[in-house]
Amino acid sequence: MCGIVGYIGTREAYPVILKGLKRLEYRGYDSSGVALKNEQGLKVYKKKGKVAELEESVIGIDMHAHIGIGHTRWATHGEPSDRNAHPHLSNNKKLAMIHNGIIENYAPIKQELINKGYIFHSDTDTEVLLNFIEDIQKNNECALEEALRIALKRIVGAYCILLISEDEPDTIIAARKGSPLVIGIGKGEHFLASDASPIIEYTKEVVYVNDYEIAIVKPDELILKNLGNEKQTPFITKLDMELAAIEKGGYEHFMLKEIHEQPNTIHDCLRGRLLPETGQIMMGGIENNLDALVNAQRIVIVACGTSWHAGLIAEYMIEELCRIPVEVEYSSEFRYRNPIINKGDVIIAISQSGETADTLVALERAKEQGAFIFGVVNVVGSSIARISHAGAYTHAGHEIGVASTKAFTGQLAVLSMMALKIAYAKKTITHERYIQLMNDLHAVPEKVKEILKDTSNIKAIAEKYKDAKDFLFLGRGYNFPVALEGALKLKEISYIHAEGYPAAEMKHGPIALVDENLPVVFVATKDSYYEKIVSNVQEIKARKGQVIAVATEGDTIIPGMANDVMFVPDTDEVIAPLLSTIPLQLLSYYVGIAKGIDVDKPRNLAKSVTVE
Ligand code: AGP
């Protein structure tokens, strides 16, 4: 899941590309590079490490050009290094290419080319595709576009590629399948990128390129074609994102900014949809497909990572309120497991980026079997949004921190409204309960504001436990998936081994881990499991475990037992995950900071996993 940027027009290409790569760096930061084409020909500059290291390495070099492509890498084939960094040059040095994705059948093609005398300077699948294109162009004496079309019909895998050639002036050729590509339309210029963040400051008019499309981009012309060489009409969309959304706004890190944005983002997600005063929930995607949802025989939720945790919470909500059986599937397992999809089944796909490859292919599989697909997505216009039959956006705004925070609470807000609307339509919930839960949900933004008012206590707890080797996160009922999410956040941001567990499961093994060196985080807010969780805390205390508790304001029992407490305002257990997750986001952030980790770009991770 690399970041791709391209520019063609009248401006200096290098500064546009460099700024774009910095905006996309959350997608991968193992190495970066640019290829520029000017009167002197094709020049490639690339460097292992962050974009800043590339910038450093070209100081003093004439980077003049009006055409260029740039890449920031998340390594799949070939370790992070200068030679595996993109762009790659073809053997005849006439073609330069960048690629986001994986070419699965690159090895046999590489062998074919080696037998023909091609030399490879890297371990990447990308360089293989590039020389394959050179070879086809040479053998068929055809245009680059034609050679690319032939090559793409032979390869298997996911790709977004940008190509520039010595011999094709004023042209960038791009293609996509599985990995995202957006093209920004300017006056006499075009911007190409993996998402809109490098484009937003120049134009709001964009085209989302579809799978199996090739784009021939010139300063004042954009042609889209399919692999059958038939012209496609570009569908221009207006971006509703502001530049400020992708700036840090005075916060030290995007993650902290995004945690503190949640009172507004949850409010934005509920606004115009949740109307407690009239008892209505207005969501077009649900309204227009209420029958399919209300009469669903089974709901299967497919997702990955944090989105999968949101799916688990939705399982508890939908089964309790709507009385519809729900299964929550890891997309990567679901797509290969040949799952049983019956008529009347509804698939809910949850994804922040809307580009997660495993979830995308899982949906394609389910769609082939006739399932109704409902998407819960944050990135507008993303592939999962476009492949779904219907859906609801989470309106959390651009999420840049690799660790998902505001998108998670946005997902919970949408899934809560979905469950309430379906339950009310199914009459599986009383009017009183419906209104009570609507009011509790409506009150969440203010309650999150209260939690965020003073986070010094959480910061102190984080510094106290920052040197722990392991952490356990425990919860019951709706708070069990919150415990899983807390453990994931800490793993991602602090590199500390952390596990989430249903609290009652401890006795069946994990309690063997407990001693005075193990911090155990209990998500123990007031709910129907409260008495049970109190005894679970006692079990841990009995083994000298260090108990950190997320407790409901006003509770005295849990705080009396715990070593450290993070309070949240009271609310209904169905809505509680939207509050109890906030202290855990902050705990992981402050532990990461205390350990000096770049929390916006934690090692080995990337924001959107567009390869399997
Ligand atoms: C969460 O903090 C991680 N970034 C990761 O687990 C993420 O949730 C997962 O990759 C799914 O991404 P998606 O929501 O964009 O599909």
Among 120, 227, 164, 160, which Cα is nearest to 13's?
164
The per-residue pLDDT for range 469-513, each reduced to its tens digit, is 999 999 999 999 999 999 999 999 999 999 999 999 999 999 999
**Confidence category of residue 169, pLDDT binned at 50, 70, 90:** confident
**Confidence category of residue 606, pLDDT binned at 50, 70, 90:** confident
Q: What is the mean pLDDT of residues 518-542?
A: 97
Ligand 1 contact via 479 beta carbon (within 6 Å) = no
Give me the pLDDT at residue 29, please: 85
**Confidence category of residue 78, pLDDT binned at 50, 70, 90:** confident
DSSP 419-448: HHHHHHHHT-S-HHHHHHHHHHHHTHHHHH
Question: What does DSSP assign to residue 178?
Answer: B
d(C-alpha 525, C-alpha 569), whole Å: 9
The per-residue pLDDT for range 406-449, each reduced to its tens digit, is 999 999 999 999 999 999 999 999 999 999 999 999 999 999 99
Give me the pLDDT at residue 128, please: 97
Question: Among the residues of 76-229, which ranges form H helices?
Answer: 106-115, 125-140, 144-154
Give me the pLDDT at residue 250, please: 84
The per-residue pLDDT for range 538-566, each reduced to its tens digit, is 999 999 999 999 999 999 999 999 999 99
d(C-alpha 125, C-alpha 120), whole Å: 10
- 218-255 burial by CB neighbour count: b if 16+ within 10 A, else e? bbeebebbebeeeebebeeeebebeeeebeeeeeebbb
Give me the pLDDT at residue 475, please: 98
Residues recognised as catalytic: 2, 607
CA of 328 to the centre of ligand 1 (A): 15
Q: What is the mean pLDDT of residues 6-33?
A: 94
Give me the pLDDT at residue 432, please: 97
Q: Which residues contact 395 (CB under 8 A, 6 or more apart)?
A: 265, 268, 269, 378, 410
Give me the pLDDT at residue 247, please: 79
CA of 28 to the centre of ligand 1 (A): 14
Q: Which of 609, 610, 612 to mutate to test the pocket of ligand 1 (most atoms within 8 A of CB)?
A: 609
Q: Which of 26, 179, 306 to mutate to test the pocket of ligand 1 (most atoms within 8 A of CB)?
A: 306
**Confidence category of residue 239, pLDDT binned at 50, 70, 90:** confident
Q: Which atom of ligand 1 is nearest to the CA of 608?
A: 15
Give me the pLDDT at residue 608, please: 84
**DSSP helix/strand/coil, 139:** helix
Does residue 197 surpass a pLDDT of 80? yes
CA of 305 to the centre of ligand 1 (A): 5
User: 10 Å Cβ neighbour count for 560?
Assistant: 10
CA of 378 to the centre of ligand 1 (A): 11
d(C-alpha 303, C-alpha 349), whole Å: 6
Q: Mean pLDDT lowest for which of 12-26, 234-248, 470-484?
A: 234-248
3-class DSSP string for 17-66: HHHHHHHHHHHCCCEEEEEEEECCEEEEEEEECCHHHHHHHCCCCCCCCC
Residue 389 and residue 289 in contact, taking contact as beta carbons nearer than 8 Å:
yes
What distance, in Å, lies between the first and last C-alpha atoms of the chain?
Answer: 10
CA of 472 to the centre of ligand 1 (A): 21
CA-closest residue to ligand 1 atom 4? 403
Q: What is the mean pLDDT of residues 224-248?
A: 86
d(C-alpha 215, C-alpha 231), whole Å: 10
CA-closest residue to ligand 1 atom 16? 351
Give me the pLDDT at residue 26, please: 84
CA angle 276, 478, 540 (to 5 degrees): 145
d(C-alpha 366, C-alpha 346), whole Å: 9
Q: Which atom of ligand 1 is nearest to the CA of 359?
A: 16
CA-closest residue to ligand 1 atom 2? 403
Long-range contacts made by residues 389-395, C-beta under 8 angstroms, separation at least 24?
389/289, 390/285, 390/286, 390/288, 390/289, 391/285, 392/283, 392/285, 392/286, 392/417, 392/418, 394/269, 394/352, 395/265, 395/268, 395/269
Does residue 528 surpass a pLDDT of 90? yes
User: 10 Å Cβ neighbour count for 211?
Assistant: 18
Ligand 1 contact via 401 beta carbon (within 6 Å) = no
Dihedral pair phi/psi, residue 231, rounded to 5°:
-65, 140
Give me the pLDDT at residue 74, please: 85
Structure tokens at 456: 């010094």
* Host H or E run for residue 190: strand 190-193
Q: Which atom of ligand 1 is nearest to the CA of 402?
A: 4
Question: Among the residues of 427-561, which ranges form H helices?
Answer: 431-442, 444-453, 456-465, 479-494, 530-542, 557-561
Of the chain, the percentage scoring pLDDT greater than 70 comes to 99
**Confidence category of residue 380, pLDDT binned at 50, 70, 90:** confident
Of the chain, the percentage scoring pLDDT greater than 90 comes to 89
d(C-alpha 403, C-alpha 133), whole Å: 37
Q: What is the mean pLDDT of residues 320-332?
A: 98
Distances (CA, A) of 230 to 149, 214, 216: 11, 10, 13
Does residue 532 surpass a pLDDT of 90? yes
**Confidence category of residue 215, pLDDT binned at 50, 70, 90:** very high
Ligand 1 contact via 455 beta carbon (within 6 Å) = no
Does residue 245 surpass a pLDDT of 90? no
Ligand 1 contact via 402 beta carbon (within 6 Å) = yes
Residue 24 and residue 8 in contact, taking contact as beta carbons nearer than 8 Å:
no
Ligand 1 contact via 403 beta carbon (within 6 Å) = yes
Among 340, 335, 337, 347, which Cα is nearest to 299's?
347
Ligand 1 contact via 352 beta carbon (within 6 Å) = yes
| Amino acid at site 347 | I
Token pair 């042209």 is at which residue? Answer: 171
Task: Name the pairing type of β-strands 372-377 and 345-351.
Answer: parallel
- 328-337 burial by CB neighbour count: b if 16+ within 10 A, else e? bbbbbebbee
d(C-alpha 376, C-alpha 393), whole Å: 6
| pTM to 2 decimal places | 0.84
Mean of all residue pLDDT scores within the chain: 95
d(C-alpha 311, C-alpha 302), whole Å: 8
Does residue 27 surpass a pLDDT of 90? no
CA of 430 to the centre of ligand 1 (A): 35
**Confidence category of residue 171, pLDDT binned at 50, 70, 90:** very high
Q: Mean pLDDT lowest for which of 75-84, 286-295, 323-332?
A: 75-84
Ligand 1 contact via 383 beta carbon (within 6 Å) = no
Q: Which residues contact 493 (CB under 8 A, 6 or more apart)?
A: 255, 403, 588, 589, 591, 592, 597, 599, 602
Give me the pLDDT at residue 77, please: 79
d(C-alpha 276, C-alpha 442), whole Å: 8
CA of 307 to the centre of ligand 1 (A): 6
The per-residue pLDDT for range 55-73, each reduced to its tens digit, is 999 999 999 999 999 999 9
Strand locations in 343-420 (E)? 345-351, 372-377, 390-393
d(C-alpha 134, C-alpha 113), whole Å: 10
